[in-house]
Each structure stands twice: as C-alpha cells, then as structure tokens.
C-alpha cells in the first residue's frame, strides 16, 4: 500500500502556556510577580502539510511500514488581557514526524523493531521566547510468541537507544537550556491469556 494525504487546518484561537513578569493588584497595592505562569490566546494560525505512508508484507511474513508527516505552521500573535505579549507557532506542533517499522509475523511468532523520530516541537512562551523541545528519536523492540491458541508470551524493550529529551528557549540557539529528561531503557515481559 502507498498513500499520501494533504491537509490544511485554519485555527482561529489556540491556547499558549505563558511565563512572564506581570504587575497585579494585591490588597490594594501593585505587586510585581515574577515569574507568573498563565495561559494566553493565539489567533489566526494555520497548519498545513502532507503525510506519506507505505506498507508491504512479503508472503513469508516479513514486512515494513513507514509514514512521514511534514507540517508547516504559521506564526500567530499571542495576547493576554488584550495586550500583545509575543507571537507563537501552534503549540505542540513539530515540522516533521516519522515512524518506521520492520516486522516478521508468521505462525506463532511476531517480532517488530520500530524507529520513531519527532522533529523540533514548539512549546509556550517564556520571557518572550518560545520553548522548543529538540528533535527526539528512539528505537523500540517488541516480540510475542503464542504458546497455545489462548496463551501468549510478550516482551518489549522501550527506548533501546537510551534517548534523552531536552528543551531550550528560542529557535536561534540551544544555549538557553531549560531542562533535560531521560526516560531510561525499559524492558517488559508479560503473559496474556484469552478467555
């Protein structure tokens, strides 16, 4: 199977997480609050792109699946209490996303290796700059064996590549580091019984 999908979505309003310094009235006095976390509204954004996908399985059970998405988003003004506080692309959007799997499924055996890659993801605004999550990729392995028609043994290794996720402020440099997150390599073994 081969396929392609074109898409376009016009978004009139979307929520943007926001961290900034603001002055608020507290007990009759003007108080500077820093940092102040809230949400603001972005308006008139657009998301458009293409998704490509393919799948093929050979007669003896070896197969592959792949899909790739390219997403172009526009930048929209962000307002809080009627005041412009910056601009942002659609929060949570990545320009590229790719998933690819090679598998063998025949008789009682299923083995699958999957590669996933997500491009840079746009986050909320902090100090007037978008928070960006750097591109992330990982490899997962899955296997299953049917002992009987009802009893299966399964095993998985998630994040075989020990990938880490990191964030930074602005898309002009990665030097404004925000955080790094390491999920670890995880292994699971299980038994399932179908009634």
61 assigned to some structural domain: yes
34 assigned to some structural domain: no
**Measured distance CA(158)–CA(140) in Å, rounded:** 5
Statement: the pTM of the whole predicted model exceeds 0.95:
no
Spans of the chain, pLDDT less than 70: none
183 assigned to some structural domain: yes
User: Are the beta carbons of 43 and 77 closer than 8 angstroms?
Assistant: yes
Q: According to the model, what pLDDT value does residue 39 have?
A: 85
**How many domains is the chain partitioned into structurally?**
1
Domain that holds residue 64: 2-12+42-193
CB burial readout 111-137, b (16+ within 10 A) else e: bbbbbbbbbebbbbbbeeebbbbeebe
52 assigned to some structural domain: yes
The closest of 76, 75, 91, 81 to 126, measured between CA atoms, is: 91
27 assigned to some structural domain: no
50 assigned to some structural domain: yes
Q: According to the model, what pLDDT value does residue 71 have?
A: 95
56 assigned to some structural domain: yes
105 assigned to some structural domain: yes
């Amino acid at each position: 199977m081969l396929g392609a999908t074109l898409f376009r979505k016009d978004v009139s309003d979307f929520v943007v997480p926001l961290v900034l310094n603001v002055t608020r009235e507290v007990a009759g006095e003007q108080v500077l609050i820093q940092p102040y976390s809230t949400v603001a509204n972005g308006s008139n954004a657009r998301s458009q792109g293409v998704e490509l996908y393919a799948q093929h399985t050979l007669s003896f059970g070896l197969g592959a699946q792949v899909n790739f998405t390219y997403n172009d988003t526009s930048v929209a003004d962000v307002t809080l209490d009627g005041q412009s506080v910056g601009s942002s692309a659609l929060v949570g959007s990545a320009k590229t996303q790719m998933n690819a799997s090679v598998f063998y499924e025949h008789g009682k055996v299923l083995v699958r290796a999957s590669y996933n890659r997500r491009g840079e993801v746009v986050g909320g605004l902090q100090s007037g700059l978008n928070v960006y999550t750097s591109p992330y990729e990982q490899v997962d392995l899955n296997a299953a064996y049917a002992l009987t028609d009802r009893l299966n043994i399964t095993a998985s290794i998630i994040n075989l590549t020990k990938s880490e996720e990191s964030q930074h402020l602005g898309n002009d440099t990665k030097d404004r580091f925000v955080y790094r997150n390491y999920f670890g390599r995880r292994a699971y073994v299980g038994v399932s019984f179908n009634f």
